[in-house]
Structure 1
């Protein structure tokens, strides 16, 4: 019998997870990470969010670790993480659709000046004459930083919505209908071609702190920025500076260096900014359970799986 350990939320959510996994994969043994009866020696697979340091190392039969989220930094933070165990990132159609919907909303919000309308509403101000003219989607190029699974899906969705789309990746990528740039030499042309930049980069040693004031200054004016990747990719003080001095006209931000965003952050009070609490892509429990079960079945058959973490790439 295959055994799955689950740490995918608070202890009160475990019965729902167990019911979902039992229905989708009869015969699967599902262990509650928090239960006093938890037996690490029985675990074949772990489905986790922020596992306590050393806990995974206690599981001598562990075949793979499945992340509750698209990122795996919460797993890699474990200094005692067992070596050589495959790590699988969360994916699936619902994850991709939610991200694409969020980014589309964010792009249109910047084009239609939604952050400033929001501030006017809070003041009960009919600020019609104070707003810049609306920009058209057909005249705007959205640049996607990061052309992995999510970035590619977002790019294709924006393309279908009528936007011009370009993309940048650390390595060469080719996408139909999208102007693709790659590597250090391609970064400046990518930024200069983009009116709004969407950051979907993973956090790696190469990308951490990559988005600086200098980088933001090269986005075509009036520049917009959307971060749905990782907070650590952006130097937050530089982002605030770019918004304060007009280098950036507006931003929609879902991820931050510190979460929750501290109450004293200047970003809260900026009129050109919309903030959301890391919710851009949060697939439902049934969707995530389906993805996990499909991944377990493939692993048990010895088949390759999607979204396998590659230590050499850093994502």
Structure 2
């Protein structure tokens, strides 16, 4: 009997994912039906976007797992009807590499002071060389797959990299910290701070008036993680006072970012439209198919969400 895979996401995503998913499922050698509509009682796996109309999982009595299309799971992890294994997307080929490239690019941009050369209406000639990378401490808050990969890439460029996580970790090239003291240590030394924490009640407003004041004066902030990690008003005040030199933000509390939000017009803010790590359909489809293969073979699923931790 074929396994039934429901694609529960926006119709435009179906157009992007149908062919890559079929290719990936063909490659693992399972007999399957893949569709955007299936009788709930017949569904074995759901390929899922949390914004999907599927919010009540109770009718899916045969369901084996829900496989998220994105890395973020905060909009679904608390759903009381979602009782089966729930896997987040970790797509090393696309999502992780995309994040490494975006974070590394903006880290180098701020380190080298490239903005002053790219936009130079006064044609000023100021040969002010930046410090070498070894003299520019970089901090990363969040040492999951994405944070670890970004930190190691930046460390390979010669930057001293420190990272903070909920639990103690050992990662080549990164000095790892945990706990409140560890967080404060990273904040006090990071001239460039990168946010890659998940969005949970414990991480909301990680950067607030108090923690922003701990950073070295003129520090740069790069946030491709979650919008809720930053208190917007506190960040704007820190930018206006000069405590923070610039903030490059890819994620926001409300998306798309409202046209009247002060981030748009602030001279020390760069807004990018949640593009730091867009999931690539071909590689994401292979990650989804691998978890389906595991489920059918009785092997452990990859990247299961910790319901208690919220990610």
TM-score (norm. length: structure 1): 0.89
2:175 counterpart of 1:179: yes
Offset of 1:299 from its aligned partner? Answer: 2.1
Q: Which residue of 2 aligns with 1:212?
A: 208
The equivalent residue for 1:88 is 87
Q: Secondary structure at the match of 1:47?
A: strand
Is 2:129 the partner of 1:151?
no
Q: Distance in 1 between matches of 2:252 and 2:276?
A: 13
Partner of 2:185: 189
Distance 2:302 2:240 in 1: 41
Residue 292 (str. 1) matches residue 293 (str. 2): no
- Does the Cα contact within 8 Å between 1:21 and 1:30 map onto a contact in 2? no
Gaps of 5+ in 1: none
Aligned to 2:245: 249
CA drift at 1:55:
4.2
- 1-structure distance, mates of 2:111, 2:305: 35
Correspondence 1:6-85 to 2 at 5 A = 6-9=7-10, 10=12, 11-13=14-16, 15-33=18-36, 35=37, 38-49=38-49, 50-52=51-53, 54-76=55-77, 79=79, 81-85=80-84
Residue-by-residue CA offset, 1:231-287 (whole Å, 9 max, x unaligned): 112111212221122111012111111100111111112222221111111131110
Query: TM-score, normalization: structure 2?
Result: 0.90
| 1:75-132 residue CA offsets vs partner (Å, 9 max, x unmatched) | 236x5x52431110111322211111111001011122344555x36xxx14434797
In structure 2, the CA distance between the partners of 1:181 and 1:55, relative to structure 1 (3 Å rule), is same
CA-based RMSD: 2.2
Could you list the runs of 5+ residues in structure 2 that have no partner in the other structure? none
The Cα shift of 1:222 comes to: 2.5
Aligned residues: 306
The correspondence for 1:163, drawn from 149, 159, 162, is: 159
Offset, 1:293: 0.7
Match of 2:58, SS state, is helix
Partner of 2:4: 3
SS at match of 2:247: strand
Counterparts of 1:83 and 1:275, CA distance in 2: 34
CA contact 1:87–1:309 (8 Å) conserved in 2:
yes
Given that 1:6 and 1:30 are in contact with CA atoms closer than 8 Å, whether structure 2 keeps it comes out as: no
CA displacement 1:139-172 (0-9 Å, x = unmatched): 1111010111111111111111211100111221
Provide the secondary structure at the position in 2 that maps to 1:128. coil
The separation in 1 between residues aligned to 2:54 and 2:302, in whole angstroms, is 26
What corresponds to 2:108 in structure 1? Answer: 108
**Are the aligned partners of 1:195 and 1:219 in contact in 2 as well (CA < 8 Å)?**
yes
Higher relative contact order (CA 8 A, sep 6+): 2
Distance in 2 between residues matched to 1:131 and 1:89, nearest whole Å? 47
Aligned with 1:226: secondary structure?
A: strand
Q: Is the 8 A contact 1:65 1:86 kept in 2?
A: yes
CA contact (8 A) 1:140 1:164 kept: yes
Q: Is the 8 A contact 1:18 1:30 kept in 2?
A: no
Task: State how far apart, in whole Å, the 2-side matches of 1:284 and 1:231 are.
Answer: 22
